[in-house]
Amino acid sequence: MSEVSFPGVRIRGVAAAVPDQVRTLADDAKVFGEDEVRKVSESAGVKQRHISSILCASDLCFAAAERLLAESDCPAEDVDALVFISQTSDYILPATSCCLQERLGLSKDCATFDVNLGCSGHVYGLWVVSSLIASGAARRALVLSGDTIHRMCSPEDRSVALLFGDAGTATLLERCEDTVPSHFVLGTDGSGQDHLKVGAGGCRTPWTPAALQRVECEGGNKRGAGDLYMNGAEVFSFTLRAVPPLVKKVLGGAGKVIGDVDGFVFHQANKFMLEHLGKRLKVPKDKLILSLENFGNTSSASIPLAMVTELGDRLRSEELDLVLAGFGVGFSWAAASLRCGDMTVPELVLVPVP
């Protein structure tokens, strides 16, 4: 696993945005029936999701970034780099980060690029930007993590359709000599690539009329090659194998133990899974941060979204030692031990759905 510490980098602020359109359990019950929805909700911990079939991840990230820059008094021209983390980009090309540079009014001297990662993506983004700042390549940079994965889900596939919501986030990092070093651990196992996948629509398997046709699969679910497929059992097994040693390794590298940490912000995949991880790691319940109930699984946005909605008040007024961990599609995983505090954390932005 890749492992590194970065001195002299701090998070100045974090913001999140979601569509103002909410899908409730009652809405889902009209499609899948009350009993099925209740079972999934009790296990996954999802009671509602913010979704839109019109807004893109970039729209939500733009709203979050615009609010964050305004409230942190950071002029757009002071941003040296922008990294867009998403698996739901606006186009095949150009890079969505280029579109966001123009929308946000950032300098033409600003370096931008996209990173195609999901569940682990936000921590990867922090790692990339921290390395840029620590090396002197940038003094201030934005990580924009967002996804609209629900648009990839077949509405007739209860294994995914009841879980995913939409969100976009913005995290502003900057050079700061007087800060505790952050510590990162990252890894990949591509042998798990088929267990969480949208098979059609890329150059390997282009769109065809057949790819758009949904056929009956396991348990009566219906999906096509262009819809999201998730092998829940394999993803769960991977998580239990990879995440406990990942968290222990990042804590060890940072010279910390479980009791030193104020909050564990894991990728918000599934409540049952997260609580199981918490028990394995002996994380106190009040330190295991959960935001699934109101937002579902928001892929790359889930960690910063949870920071805003569940820790925002504390992050504005005090310093917290946090462990962030993302894991999933790829298979890919990443964790960070960070000290965060005295940050700009705007209230959650609700973006009107046209």
Which SS3 state, helix, strand or coil, does residue 322 take?
strand
**Does the annotation count 221 as an active-site position?**
no
**Cα dihedral value 149, 153, 158, 162, nearest 10:** 30
Q: Which helix (H) or strand (E) holds 198?
A: none
Q: Which of 122, 267, 270, 340 is catalytic?
A: 267
Q: Which of 99, 110, 119, 340 is catalytic?
A: 119
| Preceding amide of 6 cis, omega within 30 | no
* Chain position carrying tokens 């929805």: 37
Q: Which helix (H) or strand (E) holds 287?
A: none
**DSSP notation for 11-25:** EEEEEEEEES-EEEH
DSSP 30: H
Residue 118 CA to residue 115 CA, distance in Å, equals: 9
Residue 138 CA to residue 130 CA, distance in Å, equals: 9
Count H helices and E strands in the chain, helices first: 11, 17
**DSSP notation for 10-70:** EEEEEEEEEES-EEEHHHHHHHH-HHHHHHHHHHH--SEEE--SS--HHHHHHHHHHHHHH
**Does the annotation count 50 as an active-site position?**
no
Residue 110 CA to residue 102 CA, distance in Å, equals: 10
* Chain position carrying tokens 């899948």: 32
Q: Which of 221, 270, 294, 297 is catalytic?
A: 297
- Residue 155 CB coordination number (10 Å): 15
**Does the annotation count 270 as an active-site position?**
no
Residue 65 CA to residue 59 CA, distance in Å, equals: 10
Residue 127: CA atoms inside 13 Å, Cβ hemisphere, count?
Answer: 25
In 3D space, the residue among 277, 312, 273 whose CA is nearest the CA of residue 16 turns out to be: 312
Q: Which residues are catalytic?
A: 119, 267, 297
